[in-house]
Structure formats: C-alpha cells, structure tokens
Amino acid sequence: MSARLLVTLAAGALPGLEDALTGSGFTIRRQPLLQHEPIAPNRPLHDAIAAGEWGAIVVTSPRAAAIVASVLPRESDVAVPLWAVGAATAAPLQVAGWRVCTGPGGSASAGAAEALAGAMLAAMVRGPVLFVAGDPHRPDLAARLADAGVSVTTVLAYRSVPVADVELLAALDRADLVVVASPALVAALAAQGDAAMRAGYVAIGATTAQQGRALGLVPVATADQPSVAAVADAVRRAARTLALGS
C-alpha cells in the first residue's frame, strides 16, 4: 500500500507540486485545512492606506496583497514603496499594475518575513511602515524592523480559521505525511493531541518549523524555500527518514 501524503496548501498554491512528486510512491491528496476570511468592512485598513504617509507598505501573504490591491487608489500613482515577501505574494499587486519590491525568500533556518525585513533595512527603508497582515501572524518582520528603529503599524486584513476539529481529525487519520505551511495550522493540528503525533510533518520554511517544534510537532524535514522543487525535495527526504514511499 502506498504512503498517504496530505498537502494542506490552498488550491493553486505551489502548482505542480503533485506532478513533481509523481513516482515517489505516494497517494497524494490536497485538502486545505485553513479558511481565510477577509475582515469587512475594514475601516482601519482603508483609513491607513488613504493617509498615504508611509515609508513603505508591506505584505507577507498573497491574500493580504490582494486586499491591498483592492484598496489602493487606482486613479493615481502610489508613491509609497510596496514590499512583498516573495514573488507569489507580490503577484496580486503586480497584476493590478503596481511595482513591488520583493524579499529574498526564507530558508530552512530563517523565515521569509525576517529575510524581507533584512532586505528592507538594506534598502534603507524608513518608517513608518504599514504592515498589512493576517490574524494570526508571526511577529518576526515587525520585530526585526522595530529593533532597527523603524516604526511599524500593523493592520489586520483577514483571519485564518482552521476547519472544524472533526475535519482535522479525519484528515490526520488518512495521512502518513503532512505538508504544512502555516503556524496557525500547526497550532490547530497540535491541539488534536495524540492524533496529531501519528503523522510525519514537512514544514514549508523555518517559521512553520519553529512553531511545530515549540508545540511538539517536530517536522521530519523543512523545505529550504517555498518552491515546488524545494518542497518536493523535503517530502522525499521525509519519506526516506520515515521509510515511506518507494
């Protein structure tokens, strides 16, 4: 019987991942386990962007980027530099016609948000910075900027809500290896107790891996970067460690 791989990424995230794992000995199922709910109406976000007195506007997820793109004043140029954690996050803003600076991406040892903060500091970004984030979100980016003396205001754009516990438990019961990309999801899985411990985990990036270790869901492997090739490689490494697959 082939090993069962559960990919918890949203539909459309890392397209081609399943194809890259063809022949690896897995039965692959993609089942998103987080629901993302925009905060609407969002007067704080509209007011913050309308103020236009920012040294930069920064986003660390495609969802936040799409929401920012929908709020930016399309009838005029935006003088404020726009920063995104990577190419996938920048895409909704670029499709809407905005120029975006991107960070270098994360690694197995450093989160992408922290790396983005480093790139912003290297580019001499001055505050105040408007960070449009999800709820919950990691403090790494804002903390790194604040430590360097850059003022950061965080405005929430959406909430990440795990699916019901019964759905989480059913998903875990059908998986030998689970690909996770969100600290919020790691926390929800860890709350399932012993049921969560029966599967192995592959983390997409250091931030998710750190959350897993903190909650006892130590990842078997961590992708060096959030790309199809790196995640597929991490899955194969995890499978070898756990003697799964072919």
* pLDDT tens track for 38-53: 998 889 999 998 887 8
Nearest CA among 8, 50, 55 for reference residue 29? 8
CB-based contact 115:104 (threshold 8 Å): yes
Percent with pLDDT over 70 in the chain: 95
Residues 98 and 220: their CA atoms lie apart, in Å, by: 39
Buried b (16+ CB within 10 A) or exposed e, 75-110: eeebebbbbbbbebbbbbbbeeebebbbbebbbbeb
Mean pLDDT of the chain: 89
pLDDT of 75 strictly over 70: no
In whole angstroms, give the CA distance from residue 142 to residue 148. 10
CA distance 215 to 100: 35
Q: What is the pLDDT of residue 243?
A: 85
pLDDT at 108 over 70: no
Cross-strand partners of 84? 59, 102
Claim: this prediction has a pTM higher than 0.75: yes
Q: What is the pLDDT of residues 15-31, one digit of tens each?
A: 899 999 998 889 999 99
Residue 142's pLDDT is what?
93
pLDDT at position 239 is 92
